[in-house]
Structure 1
């Protein structure tokens, strides 16, 4: 097959970053005598800043407070007065010390510090990309870092993390950084869950962050208490707003206290890195991530690329750690061929350990696979 293969992979969690995964596939295509371009993608979670920096944004590195109070090195992306903050770099699962889950005490203070650093840098267009959090604190830590006071019945500050929110009596936003009044804040998230209730931040996402059923109950009560205090502070209750439950309730803090508007994280990243333009020169686009399943079809970056490819008449191949969708379901989104590392390796541990070699091997097969040659690939 002649033409350019556009490789738009997201991260293979626990194994490779999006950039690494794309590079291995491109190497395989090159080895086989073809031409491929790497365009790593993200949906607002891990890898968002890296994807934007690769697309021409500047990277600004700072030291902030991690989710359990330890210092961590983080970065945000800047271009033309816009700063893109990746919550996962300051308050994410991947920066927990030794991966130790702390569902009741992990907080978002460091993400607030990143926003403050962006304001210091002169940015007044702030995009808060909120995937991959380790927290369920309703964004209280973020607001604390930006100057808000969140106090208990005796007037003292409540402790860090969602577990402490049951003690909240009052939210005072009068001390928020005054520069925020002149800033535009965008919440980039594909999660539309409310803050509380059976579809809320605690019930749906906290177990993934190590919360037991008892912890979930405590976190839910804390988030409800925090929402009540916030409603008294701003005069309206936004706890049921779509996206309020994103990143353990960080979406709620952004919407309620920072007057953020919400947009799709995947759509934002794909626009920012120029996927539509890149597709004009592509004969095949490769999408995928660690696990390609029904969740991938719900606003994730790979499916966003696939939908754009279909608009341009470019066939789509899926390369993923595992593929959990039927052939019929895949055809519905324009997929003409699939490669699964798990199927090839036979065991999940082998697939993860050998992911670089497997992706390079698959890259070499992309040029000649019958499905890509007979399903509309453009020469």
Structure 2
């Protein structure tokens, strides 16, 4: 028997790698000789670096960069097994968890550290990049990142503007003469699962600004500033960053990557499934096990377990989905590739207890053990 384990992390509880170990133990207790293949998954957000580094035999690199509050922090990114591809989660350098609640103000937070991670990866010989957007504390349209890469955004005195979204209001021209030359050799694939434009009612500021600390009044100012940037970019560089689907992702980083760096914005889970070569690993599989912390209506909107299930369905392989919480909305997922869906919670537990990593590990192992005991009987 061959089983492919392809789960996302149970966020706040257990990593995809640890969860996969628990599932493998549950299977081996019933089928000691089973061939088990583990592919930790992510959807382009948290866990993307871990999933791709693990799948390709790569390594982690740590680097001191400028954090969202313009202070020095330690951030990590991955270099994949081919030694030429870097994978970066922007939240490592400008993520919301890096900013205490009382300091959240997107007027001042910056993406500069993201650019520093790209530069460091280039110094390590990387020319191909996989970027996970999401979870940023910023609304600077990626200007901070671009500044780190050598782009100069100048005011009416031809002075370089500072860091943070508030500085966008001072930009009148863009100087590309000092952009890092090696960027021309680089190719960026960006995991982006939203199609918001840069500005407007559905843009970066209005949709994502409030969760980053913006008041309604601040949202209006932020929206005006990124609009001004888009107009200057169109005039100076003949690049329309407003019309890019996904330009508003991560406070406008989608616009910076696509419009300035020529990145291809694509579905996060499809990108990850391609990078880990899941289709190749499906060959000869009898079952696929997928899952995440909660399987609900959101799962049908591009989450990792659904991507894995759809691919398995194409090969007519049964899919067992596991989660801590399973809602009534999951019925629609059966037709999308999830053969059966199970909650791993076997008795009443407080949320705190249920999310304890040891409890999650044990519950995963026990649930899978019971499922495969049934499979063993049915298979005779």
- TM range, normalised to the smaller chain? 0.7 to 0.9
Query: For residues 235-261 of structure 1, what are the alpha-carbon distances to aligned partners after superposition, in whole Å with 9 as ceiling and x for unaligned?
Result: 132212112112111010111111222
- Bigger Cα displacement from structure 2, 339-348 vs 16-25: 339-348
Check 1:358–1:255 CA distance in 2 against 1; reply closer, same or farther (3 A cut): closer
- Bigger Cα displacement from structure 2, 244-253 vs 296-305: 296-305
Structure 1 counterpart of 2:39:
39
Find the aligned partners of 2:375 and 2:31 in 1 and give their Cα distance.
16
Check 1:207–1:281 CA distance in 2 against 1; reply closer, same or farther (3 A cut): farther
Check 1:60–1:165 CA distance in 2 against 1; reply closer, same or farther (3 A cut): same
Check 1:293–1:207 CA distance in 2 against 1; reply closer, same or farther (3 A cut): farther
The SS at the match of 2:355 is helix
Find the aligned partners of 2:102 and 2:348 in 1 and give their Cα distance.
26
The SS at the match of 1:242 is coil
- Bigger Cα displacement from structure 2, 275-284 vs 131-140: 275-284
Matches within 5 A, 1:232-251: 232-251=235-254
How far has the Cα of 1:197 moved from its partner? 1.6
Structure 2 counterpart of 1:301:
304
Matched, 1:336 2:339: yes
Contact 2:27 2:372 in 1 (8 A): no
Find the aligned partners of 1:172 and 1:160 in 2 and give their Cα distance.
16
The SS at the match of 2:160 is coil
Query: For residues 148-169 of structure 1, what are the alpha-carbon distances to aligned partners after superposition, in whole Å with 9 as ceiling and x for unaligned?
Result: 1123334333332224323332
Contact 1:306 1:333 in 2 (8 A): yes
Structure 1 counterpart of 2:12:
14
Matches within 5 A, 1:219-368: 219-340=222-343, 344-353=347-356, 355-368=357-370
Q: Structure 2 unaligned runs (5+)?
A: none
TM-score (norm 1): 0.88
- Bigger Cα displacement from structure 2, 293-302 vs 222-231: 293-302
Contact 1:21 1:356 in 2 (8 A): no
Structure 2 counterpart of 1:53:
53
Contact 1:190 1:300 in 2 (8 A): no
Instruction: Report the aligned-residue RMSD.
Output: 2.8
How far has the Cα of 1:326 moved from its partner? 2.8
Structure 2 counterpart of 1:160:
163
Find the aligned partners of 1:312 and 1:160 in 2 and give their Cα distance.
50
How far has the Cα of 1:304 moved from its partner? 0.9
Contact 1:173 1:233 in 2 (8 A): no
How far has the Cα of 1:341 moved from its partner? 5.2
How far has the Cα of 1:114 moved from its partner? 1.0
Check 1:318–1:213 CA distance in 2 against 1; reply closer, same or farther (3 A cut): farther
Find the aligned partners of 2:166 and 2:299 in 1 and give their Cα distance.
31
Query: For residues 85-121 of structure 1, what are the alpha-carbon distances to aligned partners after superposition, in whole Å with 9 as ceiling and x for unaligned?
Result: 2212222234446896343322111110111112212
Contact 1:144 1:150 in 2 (8 A): yes
Find the aligned partners of 2:245 and 2:297 in 1 and give their Cα distance.
20
Find the aligned partners of 2:256 and 2:373 in 1 and give their Cα distance.
47
Contact 1:112 1:142 in 2 (8 A): yes
Contact 2:45 2:135 in 1 (8 A): yes
The SS at the match of 1:211 is coil
Query: For residues 128-164 of structure 1, what are the alpha-carbon distances to aligned partners after superposition, in whole Å with 9 as ceiling and x for unaligned?
Result: 2223322221101100100111233343333322243
The SS at the match of 1:202 is helix
Aligned with 2:186 (options 183, 186, 197): 183
The SS at the match of 1:366 is helix
Structure 1 counterpart of 2:68:
67
Check 1:19–1:369 CA distance in 2 against 1; reply closer, same or farther (3 A cut): closer
Find the aligned partners of 1:371 and 1:207 in 2 and give their Cα distance.
49
The SS at the match of 2:306 is helix
Check 1:197–1:284 CA distance in 2 against 1; reply closer, same or farther (3 A cut): same
Query: For residues 305-329 of structure 1, what are the alpha-carbon distances to aligned partners after superposition, in whole Å with 9 as ceiling and x for unaligned?
Result: 0111111212222222323353531
Check 1:378–1:325 CA distance in 2 against 1; reply closer, same or farther (3 A cut): farther
